[in-house]
Amino acid sequence: MADLRITTTGGTDTVLDEATVQGFKTSVRGSLLRPGDAGYDEARTVWNGMIDRRPALIVRCAGVADVIHAVNFARTNNLLVSVRGGDHSLAGHSVCAGGLMIDLSPMKSVRVDPTKQIARAEGGARWRDFDHEVQAFGLATTGGTDADTGIAGLTLGGGLGWLAGKYGLACDNLLSADVVTADGRLLTASTTENADLFWGLRGGSGNFGIVTSFEYQLHRVGPVLAGMVIHPFERAKEVLRFYRDFSTAIPDEVNTMGALLTTPEGLRVAAIAVCYNGSIEEGEKVLRPLREFGPPLADQISPLPYTVLQAMMATMFPRRRQYYWKASLMNHLSDDAIDTMLEYFSAVPSPHTVMGFQQLGNAVNRVGPDETAFSHREALYDFLMLSGWEDPSEAERNIRWTRELNDAIQPFLHGGIYVNAFTEDSKQGIRAAYRPKTYERLVALKNKYDPTNLFRLNPNIKPTV
């Protein structure tokens, strides 16, 4: 090892001598990687192919002790820090340029207590790991709709998913979390211990520390009645109007997504995807109007193991494609909003781009706005503008289209955003992710737990001390 140039929180570089870096290396059970080391490029590679950053050091943590050593090392040397969970942040927050990347991806264990219906999962697990373990006991909890996404970032931002109609957000099912805070302490946060921190972890993103493990409430789930109905784009207006009416009058067992997309065969279509989480017989009755409407070009709804449903979306958004996404919350889908969507989708520049809605869910809407840091509880949908393309030279055209759509759709939106869709170029700014009172409370929490803003590569709540 030689002396190491590394970026500080102030954005300037500093040099760490070889002995200092070597001391850190021997203090951890996992590995410490520098540019050129085997595994370095793999460890810095995140889901979004637009992101290409080179940390000066990557610590691949093997356990809680490594996370504590990494936080202490970063704080003592005033280093720029990024924290990697499942690496699905749109903005690539989990990888920094020039600083220290604290990589939790080796920490994926999931321990299930089937009797108490509780699971404890480490901070680097993805929903694929989690669902695999809990479904062995016929259990699950609300998780992202793409099994490749990390449990950490998703839960800390809220967590929308197929089971949300009945069980709320992923964060609503969080019972406790173990957190390494900026001062290097390991705290447990729950309703009875460090309750202020527990409130902030449920929607405040990665601002308050590194969560080494999450404890979730599980529920009996599966098989589910789920899949998509697909209609020709020419009928999209009626389909989206039907979607609006259907999605606003559903029992808790149902959650929905509505979308405009292009099939692998190159056909533009309007699709409605659903999951019914209850008895298949009852689900057949509840979903009948959806399946009869049209009729659809294709009806792919069938009884499925929950893990099969969860695996479907990862194929739609493969790793390392170029992505530029915008999303904003929506309360009501008006006819004018539908017309705007159709106008833009008619000129969509890439067949990999999807426009649509993810429903928050009945149980999500019933939680009070002050109960968790995820405070936009009244919103019905997250309106998604998910642009994807293969050739980097197509970036300008695709980004321009997404931004223009985002501007045009603004009059029909709620005004707030889902924090997990936040990127630094979000026009609304980070405050839009919260009610004003919630934001103030988050700032107070940041002042208490991370006054120097060590954890800043995230939808950042800036401390005021």
Binding characters for ligand FAD, 132-151, by CB under 6 A (x = yes) = ------------xxx--xx-
Among 43, 100, 104, 139, binds ligand FAD (CB under 6 A): 104
Half-sphere exposure of 323 (CA within 13 A, CB side): 25
Cα→Cα distances 249→113, 244, 284, 291, 380, Å: 35, 9, 16, 16, 12
Binding characters for ligand FAD, 45-64, by CB under 6 A (x = yes) = --x-----------------
| φ, ψ dihedrals at 251, nearest 5° | -75, 165
In angstroms, what is the minimal distance from the CB of 104 to ligand FAD? 5
**If binding is defined by CB under 6 A, does position 441 make contact with ligand FAD?**
no
Binding characters for ligand FAD, 210-249, by CB under 6 A (x = yes) = xx--------------------------------------
| φ, ψ dihedrals at 221, nearest 5° | -140, 130
Q: How many whole angstroms separate alpha carbon 293 and alpha carbon 275? A: 17
> What DSSP letter does each residue of 151-186 carry, written as one string?
HHHHHHH----TTHHHH--GGGGEEEEEEE-TTS-E
Nearest to 51 by CA among 90, 10, 7: 90
**If binding is defined by CB under 6 A, does position 87 make contact with ligand FAD?**
yes
In angstroms, what is the minimal distance from the CB of 399 to ligand FAD? 16
Minimum CB distance to ligand FAD smaller for 82 or for 426: 82
Q: Which of residues 160-219 bind ligand FAD (CB under 6 A)?
A: 160-161, 205-206, 210-211
| φ, ψ dihedrals at 133, nearest 5° | -70, -45
Tell me, what DSSP letter sits at residue 79? B
Among 44, 60, 69, 93, binds ligand FAD (CB under 6 A): 93
Among 98, 99, 123, 203, binds ligand FAD (CB under 6 A): 123
**If binding is defined by CB under 6 A, does position 296 make contact with ligand FAD?**
no
In angstroms, what is the minimal distance from the CB of 313 to ligand FAD? 7
Beta strand 302-304 with 224-232 is antiparallel
Contact 288, 205 (CB under 8 A): no
Among 181, 420, 426, 438, binds ligand FAD (CB under 6 A): 420
Nearest to 353 by CA among 234, 230, 263: 263
Note the residues at the interface with ligand FAD (CB under 6 A): 47, 82-90, 93-94, 104, 123, 144-146, 149-150, 152-154, 156-161, 205-206, 210-211, 317, 420, 457-458
